[in-house]
Structure 1
Amino acid sequence: MSSENPVLRSAAHHAHELGQARGWSPSTTRCVLDGLTTVLQDRPAGEPVPLSEVRTRPHRHVSRPRLTEVLADLGLLQDDSATAIRSWIDHITRDLAPGFAGPARHWLTVLLDGDNRAQARSPGSLYVYFSCARPFLEQWAIRHDHLREVTRSDITAALEPLRGSQRSNAIKALRSLFRFANKRGLVFANPTTGLKVRDTESDLLPMTFDEIRAVEELVTDPAWRVIVALAAENAARTGAIRHLALDDVDLANRRITLAGRRQRLGDIGHRAIRRWLDHRHATWPHTPNPHLLISPKTALGTTPISQIFVNLRMQQVGCTVQRIRQDRILHEALTAGPGPPAPVTGLRHLPPRRDPLRGRRRASPQR
């Protein structure tokens, strides 16, 4: 890249070196160079680039994580995300009624910063919590002048139409809001006291035929074959699967470390991981990512696949990793019968049931 800006030339050189070391494609490298030109060309030497500008100014084909990595390595990145989230808090609470806007703004600010009573939460948590609570706050503001006037009956009526995860998330958000308001004297009493997150629809139930067929569609992909195998054999949670590192897998001894616990790796998981590793090496031979499962985006860096990456794919087929995991636990409980609970660690002899990874029906015990 020819430029009179020495900072831009240095950044471009570092981008080329990083791209070669990380196995970036030529198009990814070119787009990162375009992004560097956009944010550095007219900037005074040494002035850092705000993270909010990296996320908005370059064209849509630029990989923001790769551009951020180059700037951070050179000390040219200013993380102003906290300032951006504070502006968001002011903006989204501005339209609420005064008696609700003040408590909501104070609640979100403490969630962001934390204090001596609570730990700081991520911006993503704030988005989720407020998106769940906002419809109720707007609804209650029609009949009440202040948050302290909301009663238990108001909350019960608002939650009545909700089911499943939607209801669970709403309860968590409201409990967080009213616990905060009660501790700081913004309400007279906490109307969510004793409100349970668990919904009757979250009870352990066997997977339906449609859910099993959906899983069979997933396992044609090598990465999803690993996810399903670990959820079905080891009852692994999504977070443990996402953060599973290459060093956590011991194929020779058929052992795997999930969430810090060393377990036996079952036959299905063993075959699925071997197949995935062959695919991974053929597709991304130079990836620096230490995690077992990677995607086209994370193969260029070192982060695990995201929760959103998993959720979106599962939503398309109408099933979840948690449902597969619960079905595994339920089946073990029904097969083992009464007695002290044993940890689910990938049983040596899987109970006879439908195996979604083989796509055929085996004898299933009566449930």
Structure 2
Amino acid sequence: MLTDLDLLHDDSAPAIRSWIDRATCRLPPGFITPVRQWLLVLLNGDTRSRPRSVSSIYVYFGAIRPFLDDWAASYDHLREVTRSDISAALRPLSGSQRHTATSAARSLFGFAKKRGLIFSNPTTGLKARSADFALLPMADEEIRAVEQQADDLAGRVIIALAAENAARTGAIRGLTLDDLDLANRRITLAGRRQRLGNLSHRALRRWLRHRRATWPHTSNPHILISDKTAHGTSPISQQFVTLRMNHAGCSVDRIRKDRILHEALAGGADPLHLSLVFGISHSTAARYSAVAEKLLADELDRASQLP
């Protein structure tokens, strides 16, 4: 209420600000200033760029942190890093790791050059290898960020269903109480009866307890309801889902694709298996299988090159 009336002055420090201070404090003095300022601009934005999500900040710093540690062992300042140093750091990487690390390096050094913190930008002209990024696995930092930000009970249900059952937004919004069988750990999503995983089971139980306590007399048949829909029978809006996923720093579609791809990696890149498990078309299943085969081949190549 105070926020709506523009009367709230929240002077508490966001957790991400404290994390930035902790994450950069161990770097050498010549690295601390440019890296910390870069992360703060990612967080707050400036006149030329919009603020990035918290998960993007975690992912970017997680991707470039190993490089910073290596460079700090040889150099006293970020401006001493050369193009050959960056190329050597990126050489062992491939796929999503290389794409993310390249993007993070270009962002950091581009920012430092604009602010006059380095003399030249060693990433000028540097491009990530082309990849079907929409079908690449989520980075560990990205997954942890989503989990940490999912502090809303409804948001946890949405994330859990996308992560375990590869549920689409429409299927989550349309889910009704009749579609749920908690006792037998089964759920019907978009007309398909599926097993209910542990994460989804816990999230749904907590949400249903909250739902009964908050709206005990609602006649809305949908599992996810809000203050608005509790007085009727309509499902939650797309905005209801979008706001919660924006807070988590990820999208339902991103989590859903990650779930299908991990199944493809675990199941030997079998498109028929994917089509049966997730109810996707054969062409879509083949696309996921092709990406999985490429990732598995890259992993084998890296393993064969180890001493």
Q: Given the two structures, how large is their TM-score scaled by the length of structure 1?
A: 0.42
Rg bigger for which structure? 1
Q: Given the two structures, how large is their TM-score scaled by the length of structure 2?
A: 0.49
